[in-house]
């Protein structure tokens, strides 16, 4: 007798997340069953296969989800918006994994890859989540995986510090999100995003104190995850202290999922209160642009520079979110593609230098290094140009679209702030390029390493080449990518 009617489950829609979740389980098992020296290669191979599998699944999902459908009592949605975000996250994960393999470690190789798969699975799930419960669930799911990933080398204090900081700051963010969700539920009596939107519209709750406070708290929670100023304080410390490939993965994938989710929540549930959140996000965007760029100017550690640069890029993307139009939606999705590649690529190059030196990399450590390692040097140069929004990289088109979206929304002052921020950012991006090619290597910073010359890291180079291909390719293939993003944005009620 079927006492409880189970809802129909669309397994295909959940395939991208499930693939990685399954892989995470398998990897944990193999790290017990397989002999110790094989754990790392087996774990890496299995998880890489999982990333590729979920990338393919997400691509199929995109292809076969022209109409957005709501699944499992509105707890998640099968649509192109989520599928495109999943493509970006799965791709970023696969590349980050390639850069991880050369990392000299590690007692917990199997766990490392399993956690990476689990974190990515949580992000993929979050990209589809459409009620406050599943959103919180997925957010915690990937966050907890990342807290552990940051601190996985427990014998290193910097790692532990990073993990701890991320845990505390991240928990604050999650708490805000949860509290805000509760307030919104209290006001509307539902946790489904679409029903919240309808309730606010029908009952005229746009000015309701619960809704306003709840919305603000939800946005603060997401701002923590997207490292938007002034909720970014954890970012430089965590990016600096974590294993470098993990920093790259966080920079690319966490940011992607945070923005995708933010747009989904705002457009589906809070369209009626747009007059409030556009202003709030505009202020946050300006704060991120100003703080991110100014703070990056005075950093010496390359990972800290990249961390602050990620804060400023969050500001650029938030400009497009605050624009509250379909152009902004596709601007963010387009922006994320080259940005993810540049972020992972830049951290990969830093990781390569780090492995040569056996310590944290400062800007001076790059002196003349571009001539020694031309592929990595040219790669870093392109990623820096891309971050700075120079033509011949997708970063240029991304910024162009973000500015266009803000201009279309009439936010000219934000565009001006963005242009000035871009100018300022040239200083530290070009500073890295200048070190790479225009400076002679100094005595202490020479390539030679404490433990002999480093092993050739072919996988990392492959990842950097792939990132170069995406960074430059997205500049030329704008229309196909914009078409993808436009169809994806069509799934949301802009």
Residues that bind other proteins (CB under 8 A): 327, 371, 385, 390-392, 396-397, 400-401, 403-404, 407, 419, 422-423, 426, 430, 434, 437-438, 476, 478-479, 482
Strands 69-71 and 76-78: antiparallel
| Min CB(108)–other proteins separation in Å | 39
| Min CB(482)–other proteins separation in Å | 6
| Min CB(327)–other proteins separation in Å | 7
What angle do the packed helices 374-387 and 412-433 form, to 10 degrees? 160
> Which of 49, 431 has the CB closer to other proteins?
431
| Min CB(494)–other proteins separation in Å | 15
> Which of 362, 435 has the CB closer to other proteins?
435
Query: Which residues have C-beta within 8 Å of that of residue 27, sequence separation ≥ 6?
Result: 42, 43, 46, 47, 110, 113, 114, 117
| Min CB(471)–other proteins separation in Å | 14
Give me the helices (H) in 129-273, please.
132-150, 157-188, 193-203, 209-225, 234-241, 244-249, 255-269
> Which of 251, 368 has the CB closer to other proteins?
368
User: Is 21 buried (19+), middle (13-18) or exposed (0-12) by CB count in 10 A?
Assistant: buried
Per-residue tokens: 288? 């991120």
Distance CA 107, CA 361 (A): 23
| Min CB(318)–other proteins separation in Å | 19
> Which of 266, 485 has the CB closer to other proteins?
485
Q: Are 359 and 478 in contact (CB under 8 A)?
A: no
121: closest CA among 58, 194, 175, 198?
Answer: 58
| Min CB(408)–other proteins separation in Å | 8
240: closest CA among 285, 299, 284?
Answer: 299
| Min CB(438)–other proteins separation in Å | 4
24: closest CA among 150, 126, 90, 112?
Answer: 112
| Min CB(464)–other proteins separation in Å | 15
> Which of 396, 428 has the CB closer to other proteins?
396
> Which of 259, 381 has the CB closer to other proteins?
381
3-class SS of residue 401: helix
- Cα–Cα distances in Å, from 314 out to 78, 229, 258, 320, 368? 26, 9, 10, 10, 31
3-class SS of residue 76: strand
**Widest CA span in the chain:** 79
Per-residue tokens: 73? 């009592």
**Rg of the Cα atoms in the chain:** 22
> Which of 176, 403 has the CB closer to other proteins?
403
> Which of 6, 479 has the CB closer to other proteins?
479
> Which of 60, 326 has the CB closer to other proteins?
326
Distance CA 47, CA 115 (A): 10
> Which of 423, 442 has the CB closer to other proteins?
423
Q: Are 126 and 133 in contact (CB under 8 A)?
A: no
| Min CB(488)–other proteins separation in Å | 15
């Amino acid at each position: 007798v079927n006492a409880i009617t189970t809802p129909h489950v669309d397994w295909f829609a959940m395939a991208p997340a499930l693939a990685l979740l399954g892989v995470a389980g398998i990897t944990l098992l193999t790290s017990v069953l397989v002999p110790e020296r094989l754990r790392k290669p087996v774990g890496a191979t299995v998880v890489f296969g999982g990333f590729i599998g979920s990338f393919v699944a997400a691509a199929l999902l995109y292809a076969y989800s022209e109409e957005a459908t709501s699944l499992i009592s509105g707890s998640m949605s099968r649509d192109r918006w989520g599928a495109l975000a999943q493509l970006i996250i799965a791709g970023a994960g696969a590349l980050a994994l390639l850069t991880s393999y050369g990392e000299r470690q590690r007692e917990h190789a199997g766990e490392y890859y399993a956690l990476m798969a689990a974190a990515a699975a949580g992000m993929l799930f979050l990209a589809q989540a459409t009620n406050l419960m599943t959103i919180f669930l997925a957010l915690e799911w990937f966050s907890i995986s990342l807290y552990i990933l940051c601190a996985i080398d427990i014998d290193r204090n910097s790692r532990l510090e990073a993990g701890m900081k991320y845990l505390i700051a991240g928990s604050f963010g999650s708490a805000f999100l949860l509290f805000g969700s509760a307030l919104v539920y209290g006001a509307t009596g539902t946790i489904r995003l679409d029903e919240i939107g309808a309730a606010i519209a029908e009952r005229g709750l746009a000015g309701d104190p619960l809704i306003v406070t709840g919305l603000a708290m939800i946005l603060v929670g997401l701002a923590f995850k997207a490292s938007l100023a002034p909720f970014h304080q954890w970012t430089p410390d965590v990016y600096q202290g974590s294993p470098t490939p993990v920093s790259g993965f966080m920079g690319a994938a966490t940011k992607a999922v945070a923005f995708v989710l933010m747009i989904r929540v705002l457009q589906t549930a809070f369209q009626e209160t747009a007059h409030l959140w556009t202003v709030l996000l505009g202020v946050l965007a300006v704060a991120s642009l100003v703080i991110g760029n100014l703070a990056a100017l005075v950093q010496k550690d390359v990972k800290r520079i990249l961390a602050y640069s990620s804060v400023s890029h969050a500001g650029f993307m938030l400009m497009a979110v605050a624009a509250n139009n379909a152009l902004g939606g596709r601007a963010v999705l387009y922006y994320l593609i080259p940005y993810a590649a540049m972020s992972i690529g830049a951290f990969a190059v830093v990781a390569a230098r780090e492995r040569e030196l056996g310590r944290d990399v400062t800007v001076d450590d790059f002196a003349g290094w571009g001539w020694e390692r031309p592929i990595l040097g040219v790669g870093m140069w392109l990623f820096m140009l891309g971050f700075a929004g120079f033509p011949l990289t997708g970063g240029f088109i991304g910024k162009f679209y973000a500015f266009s979206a803000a201009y279309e929304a009439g936010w000219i002052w934000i565009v001006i702030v963005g242009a000035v921020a871009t100018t300022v950012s040239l200083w530290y991006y070009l500073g890295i390029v200048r070190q790479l090619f225009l400076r002679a290597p100094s005595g202490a910073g020479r390539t030679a390493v404490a433990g002999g010359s480093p092993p050739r890291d072919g996988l990392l180079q492959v990842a950097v080449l792939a990132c170069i291909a995406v960074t430059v390719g997205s500049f030329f293939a704008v229309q196909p990518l914009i078409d993808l993003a436009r169809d994806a944005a069509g799934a949301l009620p802009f």
